[in-house]
Amino acid sequence: MDGAIRKTTQMRRLLAGGEVVVSPGVYDGYSLRLAERAGFQTASTSGAGIANSRLGVQDTGMMSLHENVDACRALAATATIPLMADADTGYGNAVTVFHAVRMFEDAGVVGINIEDQEFPKRCGHMKGKELIHPLEMAKKIEAAARGRRDADFIINARTDAIAVEGIEAAVERAKLYAAAGADMIFPDAVRGEDDIRRICDAVPVAVSINIGFGIRSRPTTPLIPVRRLKELGVRRVSVPRMLPAAALRAMEGALGLLRHALETGEVVDRPDLLFSIDEIKRLMDYESLERLEEEFLLPEQLHRKYQAGKAMI
């Protein structure tokens, strides 16, 4: 897409296009770069991924607004694709949401999820969720829409009502949130195609579905092919847990090999399981650093950096 187009506008155009927008959940620079390199046109921050990996705490409202915004700002600053963010409950009442939207907007993301749980919230697939009154949530959505300065910034209203109050209540909440100004509705922990179809049929805005990845995770939402989700009327699919879960499995395996090597005294070399330093350098575009050095450093500086040591060998 044209680099002059704002990322918020890019995201709006993708949602208005003919294909379902698939957003892997990212939580650090490595995961973002890999999602971009894999060809995904958008990504979204995983609130759980950031809270778990950056702070080492549970996804139960322990991460503050400023910690979340700071993490999103760092990612958005290097992102080449539109990046949406997880704003949990909006960190307070409707007035707080008004200001929180502006903070996320200034951080460079293209939109946020706001959910209708009581604070402290918890992961949508955990037990023990409690909901705020639907009218209170509608006011949060209204404040979010009023607070944004870029009309293309996306307000994605998440409801956890299916697991707490049932599908009928979830449908009514979805309609209320859309009428309050939500650009997208995100029913979490849907139980199957019927739930998805009913939400899509009920609202005049885009619907986003969160899916798990892998049988071992036993997601509340069953694994439904993206092609089928498109047929049901879904416009966006987020996959928030895939990358952190994959990274955890790989790190656990690598640490197990290291522990084995320490206990047996064997030398363990498994390049098939690890990125080489050259692969990391390519992923993080170290060549751009070298090009800048060639352009801006003095010849004698370049000589000291790259030639002087060779003369001593």
Name the CA radius of gyration of the chain, rounded. Answer: 22
Least reliable range by pLDDT among 86-90, 112-116, 212-216, 218-222: 212-216
CA distance 36 to 239: 15
Give me the pLDDT at residue 213, please.
Answer: 67
What predicted TM-score, i.e. pTM, was given to this entire model?
Answer: 0.91
CA distance 231 to 234: 7
pLDDT digits (tens, 9 = 90+) for 228-277: 999 999 999 999 999 999 999 999 999 999 999 999 998 888 898 999 99
- Residue 293 tokens read as 């050095």
pLDDT above 70: percentage of residues in the chain: 94
| String of DSSP letters for 115-161 | E-BPSS---TTSS---B--HHHHHHHHHHHHHH-SSTT-EEEEEE-H
Give me the pLDDT at residue 138, please.
Answer: 98
Give me the pLDDT at residue 313, please.
Answer: 45
Give me the pLDDT at residue 185, please.
Answer: 98
Least reliable range by pLDDT among 8-17, 52-61, 111-120, 194-203: 52-61
pLDDT beyond 60 at 140 = yes
pLDDT beyond 60 at 311 = no
pLDDT digits (tens, 9 = 90+) for 7-19: 999 999 999 999 9
**Domains of the chain and CATH, by start:** 7-240 (3.20.20.60), 275-313 (no CATH)
Give me the pLDDT at residue 104, please.
Answer: 98
**241-277 per-residue burial string, b: 16 or more CB within 10 A, e: under 16:** bbbbbebeeeeeeeeeeeeeeeeeeeeeeeeeeeeee
pLDDT beyond 90 at 70 = yes
Q: How far apart are the two ends of the chain, measured CA to CA in Å?
A: 49
pLDDT beyond 50 at 215 = no
